[in-house]
Amino acid sequence: MNVVRFFWRSLALAVLVSLSPLSPLSTALAQDPTQSEIAEARALFMAGQAAVDSGRWADAVDSFSRAYDLSGVAAALYNLGFAYRALGRHVEARDAFDGLLEDHPRFDRQKRREARRYRDESAGRVGQVTLSGLDENRRYLLRFDGQAVADDGTRPLVVEGDPGAHTLTVRTPGFVPFVWEEELRDGQQITVDVEMDEIQVAVVGGGGAVGGGAGAGSGLGGGTEQPEVDEGGFPWWGWVIIGAVVVGGGLAAYFIINGEMQLQGESDRVYDL
């Protein structure tokens, strides 16, 4: 058996909380769960423990998370935080233990001390990327490893990540997307200066001039030259526009015809909108 896997399995068997001693006072739901929800949560809890026993930590996360959503039982949240920690997902582990400590003050005192220690260990491994240069009057679309990050207007904006390689993209209308790719070390804090170039769009002026942005300095100057035309007297850019319409219409028709296709991460057709 892999040494690391054996270590985590042995540690988990020692620290995971059993469901048997729990009381209704250990739940954090707005209303008491139904009997069917309790039964389902118990089955999920046991499935999570079985997943830990066999080293299937991702399955354990899924089971404990669903068990907690159904029951609000503190033990499920404790075990969820531990499973996140075993996977190296320290941001989520820290947040799970924070939720346990805040929402379950009557949880077992010894387990609360352990949860605080695990929480601090995971928090110490979370890296931070501080984004400077963002306009406070704009809102940006950010994705960190493909996951959306909310831009709440805070400047500078801080994005958290686990140790490892990451990709961050920043988008805003009218500007070329900014892409940052780098590896974060345990607890590393870095500052990234976000510099975004404005997209230059060619426009046709009243005198037939073509230019970028405001129309100055590029394209056909002074209106003395005319756009190139084909033998039939039709401007070349007219064919470009017609072609775009035809292609666009075909693409729209494709999605209508193939509407049942779900563009998921596993699909061959993933579009970055």
What is the SS3 string spanning 170-195? EECCCECCEEEEEEECCCCEEEEECC
Report residue 32's pLDDT band, with 50, 70 and 90 as the boundaries. Answer: confident
Helix (H, G, I), strand (E, B) or coil at 137: coil
Every domain of the chain and the residues it spans = 3-123, 127-193, 230-273
Mean pLDDT over the full length of the chain: 78
Q: Using the predicted structure, report yes or no on whether residue 18 has a pLDDT greater than 80.
A: no
Per-residue pLDDT, 33: 86
Q: What band does 85 get if pLDDT is binned at 50, 70 and 90?
A: very high
Mean pLDDT over residues 265-272, rounded?
34
- Which residue in 67, 125, 117 sits closest to 91, CA to CA? 125
Nearest to 114 by CA among 95, 99, 101: 101
Question: Which segments of 124-156 does DSSP mark as H helices, in order?
Answer: none
Q: Is the pLDDT of residue 179 over 90?
A: yes
> If pLDDT is split at 50, 70 and 90, which confidence band does 217 have?
very low
The pLDDT of residue 199 is above 90: yes
Q: Which amino acid is at 108?
A: D
CATH number of 3-123: 1.25.40.10
Question: Can you give the pLDDT at residue 204?
Answer: 64
Which three-class secondary structure state does DSSP give residue 100? helix
**Residue that wins the pLDDT comparison between 249 and 131:** 131
Nearest to 83, CA basis, from 54, 112, 125: 54
Please state which of the ranges 45-54, 189-198, 204-213, 250-259 shows the lowest mean pLDDT: 250-259
Q: SS3 helix, strand, coil % of the chain, rounded to 5?
A: 40, 20, 40
Lowest average pLDDT, out of 61-65, 203-207, 226-230, goes to 226-230
Order of strands, sheet of 127-132, starting from the edge strand that comes earlier in the sequence: 157-161, 127-132, 189-193
What is the CATH topology of the domain spanning 127-193?
Answer: Immunoglobulin-like (2.60.40)
CB 131 within 8 A of CB 140: no
CB contact at 8 A, 46 and 64: no
Copy the structure tokens of residue 195. 């510099």
- Residue 264 above 50 pLDDT? no
- Predicted confidence at residue 26, as pLDDT, reads 54
Write down how long the chain is: 273
